[in-house]
Amino acid sequence: MTPLQANPQVRSGFYTLLYKELLRFWRVGFQTIAAPVITALLYLIVFAQVLQDRLQVYGEIPYTTFLIPGLMMMSMLQNAFANPSSSLIQSRVTGNLVFVLLTPISNREFFSAYVLAAVVRGLSVGAVVWLVALLFFPLPVVAPVWVIVFAMLASAIMGILGLIAGLWSEKFDQLAAFQNFLIMPATFLSGVFYSIHILPPFWQGVSHWNPIFYTIDGFRFGFFGVSDSSPWLSLAVVSFVFVVLTVVAMRLLDSGYKMRL
């Protein structure tokens, strides 16, 4: 053996960390992609059956068609959150996060790898929900750029939140609390199942303070060309939230919060 010198190479460890994070959910694709798709379709079937003829949104658009982008976005949000949060908490509880912490991977690379993997998982789930839904219901796309932009930004936001939650939680039940008391209400009360215009004025006002509302609203604009708020306002809010969360997550990582004590 001729070791002695540390290997002078230049490639970043980011690619491998990203690859590992992708592999982690791909290997259990039945749980991480198929299961959420089934959940979304169940919502679609039940709500479409019950509400199809009772709810009118955006004029001529049938309720089922209206619902599909909402369900796609809800699945993307939840899965983008789940990917880094579950990965981090598992690695921390089992202790194998040390293998990443011992390497030259910087905090920025760490952040990018986890968030990008979350975006890929979010987009994969969203795309599969869409493809399966297309078998039953037609869904036109008016402005694909908006669809892609909001899908990516929303997944990234939830990926960062998942990263923060994964850093903050020390036990699985803390992570579950984060998910049940923050993520679930924020997604359910954001207009997945309805246009906020059918809400009483007070709850409309409340919805406008929920950043998740803007991800769904902007995403829906991409499909129908109509939405509750202007897509530019939605883009501004979502981008602002993205920047704020990025700053918070990077500060936590740089301070070594619960990782490098």
Partner 1 sequence: MSSAAIEFQHIHKTYVTPYKHWWDRLLKKPRSGLVALQDIDLRIEYGEFFGLLGPNGAGKTSLISILAGLSYATSGQAWVCGHNVVTDFRQSRRSLGVVPQELVYDPFFTVRETLRIQSGYFGLRHNDDWIDEVLHNLGLSTKANANMRSLSGGMKRRVLVAQALVHRPPVIVLDEPTAGVDVDLRRSLWEFIARLNKEGHTILLTTHYLEEAEALCGRIAMVREGRVVALDTTEALLARVGGAGLEEAFVQIMRDDRNARAAA
What are the residues binding partner 1 (CB under 8 A)?
Answer: 1-7, 9-13, 15-17, 19-20, 23-24, 27, 91, 94-96, 98-106, 256, 260-261
Helix (H) or strand (E) holding 207: helix 201-207
Measure the CA–CA gap between 112 and 246, rounded to whole angstroms: 10
The answer to whether 83 and 121 have CB atoms below 8 angstroms apart is yes
Nearer to partner 1, 98 or 244 (CB): 98
The answer to whether 155 and 147 have CB atoms below 8 angstroms apart is no
DSSP notation for 13-49:
THHHHHHHHHHHHHHTHIIIIIHHHHHHHHHHHHHHH
From the CB of 85, what's the least distance to partner 1, in Å? 16
From the CB of 16, what's the least distance to partner 1, in Å? 3
Nearer to partner 1, 12 or 112 (CB): 12
Q: What are phi and psi of 179, to 5 degrees?
A: -70, -45
Q: Residue 233, Cβ neighbours under 10 Å: how many?
A: 15
Nearer to partner 1, 48 or 113 (CB): 113
From the CB of 203, what's the least distance to partner 1, in Å? 29
From the CB of 186, what's the least distance to partner 1, in Å? 20
Nearer to partner 1, 145 or 261 (CB): 261
From the CB of 172, what's the least distance to partner 1, in Å? 16
Nearer to partner 1, 110 or 194 (CB): 110
Q: What are phi and psi of 226, to 5 degrees?
A: -130, 150
Measure the CA–CA gap between 49 and 33, rounded to whole angstroms: 25
